[in-house]
Amino acid sequence: MTDKATRRRGRVFLRPLTLIAAVAVALSACGAPAAAPPGQSGSAAAGGGGGGGKVVIGVGGQTLLTYLPTTLAQQLGYYKDEGVDVELQDLQGGSKALTAMVGGSTNVTSGYYEHTIQMQAKNQQIKAFVDMGQSSGLALLVAPKNEGQIKTIADLKGKNVGVTAPGSSTDMFVKFLLAKNNMQQSDAAVSAIGAGSSAVAAVEQGQVDAAVMLEPDVSVLTKRIGHNPVVLEDVRTSEGLKEVFSTDSWPSACLYAKTDWLNQNKDTAAKLAKAIKRTLEYINGHSGAEIAAKMPESFAGGDKELYAKVIDDLKKTLSKDGTFTEDGVQAVLKTQQVANPDVGNKEIKLSDTYTNDLVK
């Protein structure tokens, strides 16, 4: 093992996680749909959002830790405090949550910022208005069967890399790293392994040679194989973000909406943004145990102590004030330009993909 690989292996957080599938559901940041599904015209519940009407927020996997602020804001009563009647819909995947919003079934999505760029490339305008995550939380690790054989990104040539789904953030991460290392996107194949138990099993059993995973899956895998997996790249830390993207921020989980809806419901959106900002401040000022105590009982997977430990680690990757940074959005755009052919060299106006104006 090279010194670099050894250093990265030691950088993996070893946590004795035993969270059940309720915490390890599918990764949120899946690929963007080309357009609204035929015949999906929306529901009455999602028809307004202003004037005291209910706001429906579709969450790309509600029990995923990356979206914890969205649920915690409701648990703390912050939406209600701001005068907004919010309904959260657990859609168990970013692509499903985005599709529901584009089709009109929801008003707002709790999903990944990169979707705003993907959709602008498809001539559909959506805009993020409060940031929750400063990292995608991804780690590219080597399957146990290949430890010693795969030591660098270059060693992935001819190998099969597990991702949650083609077109997902995990897939884009692989393609970006290949390009960064002067390789072709076709040099490594990708296979959909989902997330949670299916992803852990695929890596543990050697169904793939390497995989892009996030928490709690990395910790579950670590426990099952009995040692820290070899990690090739890791953007769960500020050091990793700097190394991979040359930035301290890579906006991920956020609230976004159709630009038209946002323009028509600025007051409502501002209230949602304020509720999330207050929640981020609450998270920053409280322990994982205190936060876990506020979350739905089922989210802890039967073990609040372990859940609290995971939340303490999550806090390191969250925004402190809900604002997007120029360096951060530029880093996401760079990833998309390199990894996503739908974006490629298309002119993207980043100022149309996000706003900090509503975070008060």
- pLDDT, residue 140, reads 98
Is the pLDDT at 252 greater than 70? The verdict is yes
Average pLDDT (72-101) is 92
- pLDDT, residue 241, reads 87
- How confident is residue 247, by pLDDT bands cut at 50, 70 and 90? confident
Q: How confident is the prediction for the chain on average, in pLDDT?
A: 84
Average pLDDT (147-173) is 91
Q: Would you state the structure tokens that stand for residue 72, as one six-digit string?
A: 């915690």
- pLDDT, residue 220, reads 78
pTM reported for the whole predicted model: 0.78
**Alpha-carbon distance 110 to 67, whole Å?**
7
Q: What is the pLDDT of residues 15-24, one digit of tens each?
A: 333 333 333 3
Average pLDDT (31-54) is 45
Average pLDDT (70-85) is 98
Average pLDDT (200-209) is 96
Burial of 87 by CB count in 10 Å (0-12 exposed, 13-18 middle, 19+ buried)? middle
- How confident is residue 248, by pLDDT bands cut at 50, 70 and 90? confident
- The amino acid at 214: L
Is the pLDDT at 96 greater than 90? The verdict is no
Block residue for tokens 């138990």 = 197
Least confident of 130-134, 194-198, 244-248, 260-264: 194-198
More confident residue, 217 or 350: 350
Q: Give me the half-sphere count of Cα atoms (radius 13 Å) on the Cβ side of residue 142.
A: 24
3-class SS string, the chain: CCHHHHHHHHHCCCCCCCCCCCCCCCCCCCCCCCCCCCCCCCCHHHCCCCCCCCEEEEECCCCCHHHHHHHHHHHCCHHHHCCCCEEEEECCCHHHHHHHHHHCCCCEEEEECHHHHHHHHCCCCEEEEEECECCCCCEEEECHHHCCCCCCHHHHCCCEEEECCCCCHHHHHHHHHHHHCCCCHHHCEEEECCCCHHHHHHHHCCCCCEEEECCCHHHHHHHHHCCCCCEEEECCCHHHHHHHHCCCCCCCEEEEEEHHHHHHCHHHHHHHHHHHHHHHHHHHHCCHHHHHHHCCHHHHCCCHHHHHHHHHHHHHHECCCCCCCHHHHHHHHHHHHHHCCCCCCCCCCHHHCECCCCCC
Q: What is the pLDDT of residues 270-298, one digit of tens each?
A: 999 999 999 999 999 999 999 999 999 98
- pLDDT, residue 48, reads 52
**Alpha-carbon distance 88 to 106, whole Å?**
9
Average pLDDT (237-246) is 86
- pLDDT, residue 52, reads 53
Residues of the chain with pLDDT > 70, as a percent, come to 85
Residue 322 contacts by C-beta under 8 Å, 6 or more apart in sequence? 130, 131, 132, 273, 276, 277, 280, 359
- pLDDT, residue 171, reads 87
- pLDDT, residue 166, reads 77
Average pLDDT (134-151) is 94
- How confident is residue 233, by pLDDT bands cut at 50, 70 and 90? very high
- How confident is residue 176, by pLDDT bands cut at 50, 70 and 90? very high
- pLDDT, residue 18, reads 34
**Alpha-carbon distance 69 to 62, whole Å?**
10
Q: Would you state the structure tokens that stand for residue 190, as one six-digit string?
A: 């990708």
Q: Are strands 126-131 and 160-163 parallel, antiparallel or unpaired?
A: unpaired
**Alpha-carbon distance 142 to 232, whole Å?**
7
**336 touches 343 (CB < 8 A):** yes
Block residue for tokens 């919003």 = 101
Is the pLDDT at 1 greater than 60? The verdict is no
Is the pLDDT at 36 greater than 60? The verdict is no
Is the pLDDT at 27 greater than 60? The verdict is no
Average pLDDT (328-356) is 93
More confident residue, 92 or 235: 235
